[in-house]
Structure 1
Amino acid sequence: MPHHGSRTRRALRTVTAAAIVAIGFAFTPSAATAADAGTGWLRLGHLSPDTKSVDVEVTAPNGDTVLELNGVSYGDVSPYSELQSGTYTVSMVPEGSSAATAPVISADIEVPAKSAMTVVAYGPTSDLEVKAVEDDLAPPTAGFGRIRLFQASTITDSVDVETSTGLPIAKDAAAGTVTDYAEIPAGSWTLELTGGDAAASSDVDVAAGSVSTLFVLDTADGGLTILPIVDSAAVGRSPDGGVQTGGGGTAPGGSLFTAGRMHGGLEAVR
């Protein structure tokens, strides 16, 4: 088992393969700020390997901007932001574009009440798509963590992921799909990723009580990597200020931690 509007510039720090990715204080369903029946949580990600950095805007039906993210690069996943439940438009433009610039992509999404959602742009620039996925943050069985896989690679049609001990995590996961959550015992794991002629391994620490998403991304040299992001770390805090960003698509592997903070990560402009 265990191996065992006006766009405000915010700094983005790129984390290399040699760096430790600290991810902490993520959303839990029991957080007091999630108790309002009229609010939900939204986070955004850039998973298109050949799309340059973008500015992202979330607008309400009346045209008001409720959330802006600036300088979002491949492999960046934002913190959760609290929004009133309802319909919004998510649009992306090249970083630093004027307000009149046509979006690279735009889509309407529905933010659910008392729940969390991840919305990403993925695929090659020539066939860019937006995918909205509800995040099930229910706690796992005591002593376990819950993980799922988001297959966002563009170099292979499908991937397999299993632990170094042979425990399957995902089988034939097609591009653009998200697997169901699976429970695995808490601890340190080595995950083996294969897809087509590409293969990679990634060391992941799964904390007891955590819920995580493993994003399969492309590397700059045409390989594959796993970017692990904590969805819920069972720490009893809202995601406000929590760090939910990882090593980006050029990192050959990633490590998952559920405590600490990484300064200079992607920030939401409210």
Structure 2
Amino acid sequence: MTRMTETPRSSTRAPRRALRGLALTAAAVMPLALGVALAPAASAASAAPGGWARVAHLSPDTKSVDVQMTALSGGAVVYELDDVAYGAVSDYIPLAEGTYVVSMVPSDAADDAEPVVQQSIDVAEGEPVTVAAYGRNAELRTTVFEDDLSAPDEGQARVRVVQASTVEPTVDVDTAEGRAIARDVPTGTATDYAAVPAGSWDLELTGADESGSSAVDLPAGSVSTLFVLDDAAGALTARAVTDSATLADMPVGGIHTGGGSTAASSEVAPGAVVGAAALLGGLLVAVAALRRRASKGTA
């Protein structure tokens, strides 16, 4: 009598289980890998046209604030800033064209706290703007300044004055040598940009009752805003913020859209294709090896 030798069950089931597992993995991963390979690659160069906005906290007795920028269309939050202190000016935020609402709440406020200020802004193609909150906390106001980042002539700098002091309703700005930079600038307003020789300047700030001084540096080719503020003693001071170092340094970055995402190009990323192919190839080799092992175990 010929005895049939029984193959141990574990010797065939193990590779079969592994085979089924890998086959299922390959089936699940294949669409995902192909999706990655065919996904558009992010590209700032091909991003949708848009503009830029930045935020300035210019209220001396308002504590640090958290800032949200929300697209009016769709209501998506496209940008957030935390703990923005007095005198701080954010970097420019690239935004798709459209209308946005800037909201500020105290940094230590509850999540459902009402904003202390809200300001709508219209972002246009190629246009940078500055959103500023200014004034005493009891009479907090907001305004939007249109910025001009056009490059100055060689050896020159371009500068404007934003008057945000609360101790003087109007301010004069001169160099220590007596050169007039701005005259009778009212609170909450900005002067036009003016070309000045590049270099370090000692400035004299003068109001009806208060005065102050400040040293600023205006590099060649730069475009700057001179923010007139209150110092801790209640006198006038100034802070120069570089808007753009050269014309080539226009604000850049991924465009924040109304949907809260970054615009992307339609080009396929070569690295994604190679990675997907390698992943699928490895899985298929493993499946084939396990099939051969399983067939030997049942022969």
TM-score exceeds 0.5: yes
Q: Does 1:106 align with 2:118?
A: yes
Answer with 1 or 2: which has the greater Rg. 2
Structure number with higher relative contact order (C-alpha < 8 Å, ≥ 6 residues apart): 1
Instruction: Report sequence identity in percent.
Output: 51
Q: 2:174 aligns with which of 136, 141, 162?
A: 162
Tell me: CA distance 1:158–1:91, structure 2 relative to 1, closer, same or farther (3 Å): same
1:198-228: CA deviations, max 9, x gaps? 2112122211111000000001211111010
Q: Corresponding residue for 2:26?
A: none
Tell me: CA distance 1:155–1:145, structure 2 relative to 1, closer, same or farther (3 Å): same
What is the distance in 2 between the residues matched to 1:34 and 1:190? 40
In the alignment, structure 2 segments of 5+ residues that lack a partner are: 1-42, 254-261, 263-299
- SS of structure 2 residue aligned to 1:142: coil
* Matched letter for residue 47 of structure 1: L
What is the distance in 1 between the residues matched to 2:217 and 2:58? 23
Q: Structure 1 length normalisation: TM-score?
A: 0.74
Deviation, 1:113, is: 1.2
Tell me: CA distance 1:238–1:171, structure 2 relative to 1, closer, same or farther (3 Å): closer
Deviation, 1:108, is: 1.1
Q: Does 1:217 align with 2:229?
A: yes
What is the distance in 2 between the residues matched to 1:171 and 1:103? 34
1:136-175: CA deviations, max 9, x gaps? 0001111100000000000111000011222111101111
* Matched letter for residue 138 of structure 1: S
Q: Corresponding residue for 2:191?
A: 179
4+ long deviations beyond 6 Å: none
Tell me: CA distance 1:238–1:173, structure 2 relative to 1, closer, same or farther (3 Å): closer
Q: Corresponding residue for 1:148?
A: 160
* Matched letter for residue 157 of structure 2: G
Deviation, 1:33, is: 5.3
1:98-135: CA deviations, max 9, x gaps? 33211111121111211211101001111111111111
* Matched letter for residue 76 of structure 1: A
Greater share of strand residues, 1 or 2?
1
- SS of structure 2 residue aligned to 1:165: coil
Greater share of helix residues, 1 or 2?
2
Number of matched pairs: 211
What is the distance in 2 between the residues matched to 1:95 and 1:40? 27
Q: Corresponding residue for 2:144?
A: 132
Deviation, 1:238, is: 5.4
Q: 1:47 aligns with which of 44, 50, 58?
A: 58
1:178-215: CA deviations, max 9, x gaps? 00111101122111111122211212221111100000
- SS of structure 1 residue aligned to 2:184: strand
Q: 2:76 aligns with which of 49, 64, 67?
A: 64
